[in-house]
């Protein structure tokens, strides 16, 4: 059995999709599915906060208006889902204020609900979207790892939880938690290590998009089927790690309570979910996984292959051409920025080729902000997000943030 909760203990959950648009369908599908699991297993709606842009269920591309599914032939996971914060309310600032339980900051915004947790409570957080070294994306901006960790440390210091569990789906998601303290009662798992992509899956010809993400559907399909009072956090991690063949699922933080049952975090601690045992559990293999950065182009290529008319083929071919042109424009812009920031060909190659391990986080944040505000918004543009590693590498070369920002402004005014 897991931890024995006191009579005053409550269970709280914050679940977030950080993207919008049809080709990112899977993130909101993941979040809607997560809500159904938590709701079914007894966490009251007043203790669940859902953030998602909410432009999928009634999107013009949706062949089943009002329906969102997380796998081909799956149930409608949109049915009854909470929509506490939608559209422009889905921001890093709001996310952090909700997480920290700042009711005053959230007055007049969305539902106003926050994670109003106390020292005996369990908090479950699930986030799904795009990511890059030490940051995750929201529809119009990004959240840096140091800001997330500061919020978590604030919650620990102010006794806002007894335990916290954080599941994170994003490229390079492990980088968000490499500095997570190991003794503050926070256990985190991520879809990928600090240097690799996460993967989308379940492409649907009917919906012409990917319906899920590998790590996410692996933990949720497991939670759907097993008895949550009989499976530990560690056991679910091991199952998801084993069955996610595409990236390296990682765990971070405090391992002192990883033996506790999942229903202490994804339910109300009473084991209301019933199903097969963890030892009996087997999932269906995923055969169509693709790296998240390739999703947009793959969707367009699939649509082109299935197009019925010449007019439709020409329109999709133009979308592909525009996407390739955008990606090439981002690449060439970044190369010009690096060329004008570095002092030698050797340094330039190092900055462009080396994988990022951000340490100078102040410089990195300033550089990302300058690039996002002047060149390409990395919250809105997942393809631009793929190049922020270069900005980190410039900072690690001890190039001043002020110089990087000035070069970014100069080059983007020239090239865009």
Helices (H), 342-400: 345-353, 361-374, 382-385, 388-396
Q: What is the dihedral of CA 321, 326, 332, 335, to 10 degrees?
A: -140
The verdict on whether 171 is a catalytic residue reads yes
Question: Residue 343's CB: how many other CB atoms inside 10 A?
Answer: 9
Question: Residue 299's CB: how many other CB atoms inside 10 A?
Answer: 22
SS3 166: strand
E strands, 228-379, where? 250-253, 290-291
Q: 221 vs 130, 218, 251, CA distance in Å?
A: 21, 5, 19
Catalytic residue among 5, 171, 201, 412: 171
CA distance from start to end of the chain: 59
Catalytic residue among 130, 144, 296, 383: 130
Residues in a beta bridge with 144: 135
> Do the beta carbons of residue 226 and residue 37 sit within 8 Å?
no
* Tokens representing residue 20 in the block: 């919008």
Question: Residue 328's CB: how many other CB atoms inside 10 A?
Answer: 11
The verdict on whether 130 is a catalytic residue reads yes
Tell me how far apart the alpha carbons of residues 368 and 388 are, in angstroms, rounded to a whole number: 7
* Tokens representing residue 231 in the block: 């499976």
Please name the residues in contact with 393: beta carbons below 8 A apart, sequence gap of 6 or more. Answer: 350, 351, 352, 354, 356
CA angle 133, 345, 354 (to 5 degrees): 20
Residues with catalytic function: 130, 171
């Amino acid at each position: 059995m897991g931890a024995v909760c006191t009579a005053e203990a409550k269970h709280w959950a914050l679940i977030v999709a950080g993207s919008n648009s049809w080709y990112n369908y899977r993130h909101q599908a993941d979040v809607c599915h997560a809500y159904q699991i938590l709701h079914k297993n007894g966490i009251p709606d007043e203790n669940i906060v859902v953030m998602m842009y909410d432009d999928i269920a009634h999107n013009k591309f949706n062949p089943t208006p009002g329906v969102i599914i997380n796998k081909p032939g799956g149930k409608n996971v949109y049915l009854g889902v909470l929509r506490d914060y939608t559209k422009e309310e889905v921001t890093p600032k709001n996310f952090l204020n909700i997480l920290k339980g700042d009711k005053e900051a959230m007055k007049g915004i969305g539902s106003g609900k926050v994670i109003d947790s106390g020292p005996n409570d369990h908090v479950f957080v699930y986030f799904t979207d795009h990511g890059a070294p030490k940051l995750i994306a929201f529809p119009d901006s990004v959240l840096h790892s140091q800001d997330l960790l500061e919020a978590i440390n604030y919650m620990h210091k102010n006794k806002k939880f007894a335990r916290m569990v954080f599941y994170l789906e994003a490229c390079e998601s492990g980088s968000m938690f490499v500095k997570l303290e190991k003794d503050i009662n926070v256990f985190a798992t991520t879809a990928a290590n600090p240097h690799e992509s996460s993967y989308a899956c379940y492409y649907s010809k009917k919906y012409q998009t990917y319906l899920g993400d590998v790590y996410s559907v692996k933990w949720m399909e497991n939670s759907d089927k097993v008895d949550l009072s009989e499976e530990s956090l560690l056991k679910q991690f091991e199952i998801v790690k084993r069955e996610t063949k595409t990236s390296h699922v990682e765990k971070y933080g405090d391992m002192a309570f990883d033996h506790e049952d999942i229903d202490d975090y994804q339910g109300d601690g009473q084991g209301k979910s019933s199903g097969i045992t963890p030892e009996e559990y087997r999932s269906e293999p995923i055969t169509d996984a693709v790296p998240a950065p390739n999703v947009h182009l793959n969707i367009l290529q699939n649509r082109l292959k299935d197009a019925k008319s010449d007019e439709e083929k020409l329109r999709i071919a133009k979308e592909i051409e525009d996407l390739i042109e955008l990606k090439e424009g981002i690449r060439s812009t970044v190369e010009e920025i690096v060329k004008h920031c570095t002092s030698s060909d050797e340094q330039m190659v190092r900055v462009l080729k080396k994988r990022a391990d951000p340490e100078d986080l102040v410089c990195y944040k300033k550089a990302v902000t300058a690039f996002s505000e002047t060149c390409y918004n990395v919250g809105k543009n997942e393809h631009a997000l793929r190049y922020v590693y270069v900005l980190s590498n410039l900072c690690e070369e001890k190039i001043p943030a002020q110089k990087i920002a000035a070069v970014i402004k100069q080059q983007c005014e020239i090239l865009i």
